[in-house]
């Protein structure tokens, strides 16, 4: 257990807040039960390395997540189609592969045989008509999204020219 004492010093308020935030952030990281117990699984642009929870080339992983019980990758192909690839940590070879959909930024939804799977940075939520299981995320990652230039439209439907860079 950590004991943090605050001492009055003559520093600008912004510097004090930064220092306090750093101390509390460091204490939280050091006391987190998963920080030392569950090291991160290696990942790359296709998901978890040396795992069945990995996107097939030329797909890439837009998100990947690991909980105590499950491991998931959300893949996207060049046509923009999403795929959920998930398994239980205890049986990583029994991979469920189904169509996925982005719902809100950073959240994905998949469904198979009456079971829904919602992947967020905080939780994997598995739901049926009879039960709901929420698994807190131990490891989550995303790949940077590509920016796409869209023409600017003007009232009346005209397209505004995009200024050169």
Residue 137 lies in a domain: yes
pTM over 0.75: no
Q: Quick one: average pLDDT of 54-82?
A: 95
Tell me if 2 is assigned to some domain: no
Name the residue range of residue 100's domain: 43-142
pLDDT confidence of 158, banded at 50, 70, 90?
Answer: low
Q: How many domains does the chain have?
A: 1
pLDDT band (50, 70, 90) for residue 68: very high
CA dihedral 37, 39, 41, 44 (to 10 degrees): 150
- What are 104's two structure tokens? 């809100």
> If you average pLDDT over residues 87-106, what whole number do you get?
93
Q: Is the dihedral of CA 15, 19, 25, 26 positive or negative?
A: positive
Residue 71 placed within a domain? yes
Q: Match 């982005």 to its residue by tokens.
A: 102
Residue-wise pLDDT for 118-149, tens only, equals 999 999 999 999 999 999 999 999 876 544 34
């Amino acid at each position: 257990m950590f004991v943090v004492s605050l001492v009055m010093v003559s520093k600008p308020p912004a510097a004090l807040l930064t220092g306090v935030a750093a101390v509390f952030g460091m204490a939280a990281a050091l006391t987190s039960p998963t920080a030392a117990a569950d090291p991160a699984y290696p990942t790359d642009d296709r998901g978890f390395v040396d795992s069945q929870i990995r996107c097939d080339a030329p797909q890439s992983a837009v998100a990947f997540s690991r909980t105590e019980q499950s491991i998931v990758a959300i893949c996207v192909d060049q046509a923009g189609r999403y795929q959920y690839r998930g398994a239980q940590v205890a049986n990583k070879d029994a991979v469920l592969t189904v169509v996925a959909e982005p719902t809100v930024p950073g959240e994905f939804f998949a469904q198979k045989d009456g079971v829904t799977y919602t992947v967020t940075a905080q939780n994997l939520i598995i739901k049926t008509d009879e039960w709901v299981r929420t698994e807190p995320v131990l490891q989550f990652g995303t790949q940077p999204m590509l920016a796409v230039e869209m023409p600017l439209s003007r009232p009346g439907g005209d397209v505004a020219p995009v200024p050169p860079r």
